[in-house]
Amino acid sequence: MSGRPIVLLTNAIHEEAEALLAPHAKLVTAPDTQPNTLRALVGNAHGIVVRAQLPEDILDYAPLLKGIVRHGVGLDFIPVGGATARGIPVANLPGVNAQAVAEYCFAALLQVRRPLALMNHILKYESWNDAREIAPGTTEISGTTLGVVGVGNVGRKLAEIGRLGFGMTVVGASRQPGRMPKGVEEVALDEVFTRSDAIVLACPLTDETRGLVNAKRLSLMKSHAVLINISRGPVVEIEALVEALRGNAIGGAVMDVFDTEPLPREDDLLRCPRLVLTPHVAAITSTSLRKMSIGAAEEMIRILSGKLPDNLVNPDCLAFRTII
């Protein structure tokens, strides 16, 4: 590789990670994440650190590319198949944000079960007594059943906190049967929906999980049960969820991910009852951002040095790989 390599950052990364990576490459931060912007910038790039959706054809514009690193875990932002066919290694950071996502899920569940923000608002702007009237209708999560769909790094952390921290019973379903952590009862997917008082979707988006939560599965849920989606938007059939919420078929839902992001202002979800929405932030805290940025920088340095990343997700690329 002649000259100083260029690394394209789809979004800014933590300043400590920039300082770590800067001696090894010239860093170019995209001014926005529009497909044409990324296509225009990737032509001279030897590496990409990914925090936003890449265009499916991005590799057609990247003749010098030697590696792609996901600033996080989910790989649906990256055309992994295309990278493999071109001999380009792709890396991610498994488990790096599991604690942040798990804490988000319990914060969301507690917000639904004991809405302190609502009580605070009513106490401040209406009356003490009106705020107190909410309390008798709230419930505790201790002794209830937590269902986890996708018991990977996030799912395992959820199970640990739920079981040991709150005294919950935890049931789970996974693509890889027989690998449940201690204390998690492995059950069929439909049984997760029938038994759980709260269900967290923590599975990756694949052809098998697209539309996994449909009208049939929502109909299996208890009338007070809560659905939390920190997976990807298309895992849930939105029309079915809106109908279930409007018809009081389930107790509530929390969504951090959506079919279209940012969520359009005219979207029906914004006017749906008993639905808490957040803008794809479950994995984002100052702590997790630093960890993800430094991890991504370290993996990119390995790639630029001619080494394989520690967390290579497409080993088949080696069959197509040219010498760096």
Cβ proximity of 112 and 228 under 8 Å: no
pLDDT tens, per residue, the chain with 324 residues: 457 999 999 999 999 999 999 999 999 999 999 999 999 999 999 999 999 999 999 999 999 999 999 999 989 999 999 999 999 999 999 999 999 999 999 999 999 999 999 999 999 999 999 999 999 999 999 999 999 999 999 999 999 999 999 999 999 998 888 889 989 999 999 999 999 999 999 999 999 999 999 999 999 999 999 999 999 999 999 999 999 999 999 999 999 999 999 999 999 999 999 999 999 999 999 999 999 999 999 999 999 999 999 999 999 999 987 544
pLDDT at 2: 54
Q: Comparing C-alpha atoms, which of 241, 184, 239, 229 is closest to residue 202?
A: 229
Please report the pLDDT score of residue 179 as a whole number: 84
Selecting among 114, 163, 280, 290, the annotated active-site residue is: 280
261 in catalytic set: yes
- Backbone Cα Rg of the chain: 22
- In this structure, the strands spanning 184-186 and 6-9 are unpaired
Question: CB-side exposure of 64: number of CA atoms within 13 Å?
Answer: 17
DSSP 42: G
Axis-axis angle for helices 98-113, 153-160 (nearest 10): 50
Tens digits of residue pLDDT in 184-209: 999 999 999 999 999 999 999 999 99
> 3-class SS at 185?
strand
Could you confirm whether 217 is annotated as catalytic? no
User: How far apart (Å, rounded) are the C-alpha atoms in residues 11 and 216?
Assistant: 39
The alpha carbon dihedral of 258, 259, 263, 269 has a sign of negative
- CA neighbours within 13 Å on the CB side: how many for 303? 34
Answer yes or no: 280 catalytic: yes
* pLDDT tens string 91-121: 999 999 999 999 999 999 999 999 999 999 9
Catalytic residue of the set 14, 156, 232, 302: 232
CB atoms within 10 A of CB 19: 11
Domains of the chain: 6-94+286-319 (3.40.50.720), 98-277 (3.40.50.720)
Strands 169-173 and 67-70 turn out to be unpaired
Select from 81, 32, 76 the least CA-distant residue to 59: 81
Cα separation of 253 and 32, whole Å? 31
Q: Is the pTM of this model over 0.95?
A: no
- Distance set, CA 96 to CA 172, 236, 288 (Å): 21, 25, 7
Position 25 scores a pLDDT of 97
Say which of 210, 239, 261, 271 is annotated catalytic. 261
Instruction: State the DSSP code for 31.
Output: S
Tokens of 87: 């001999």
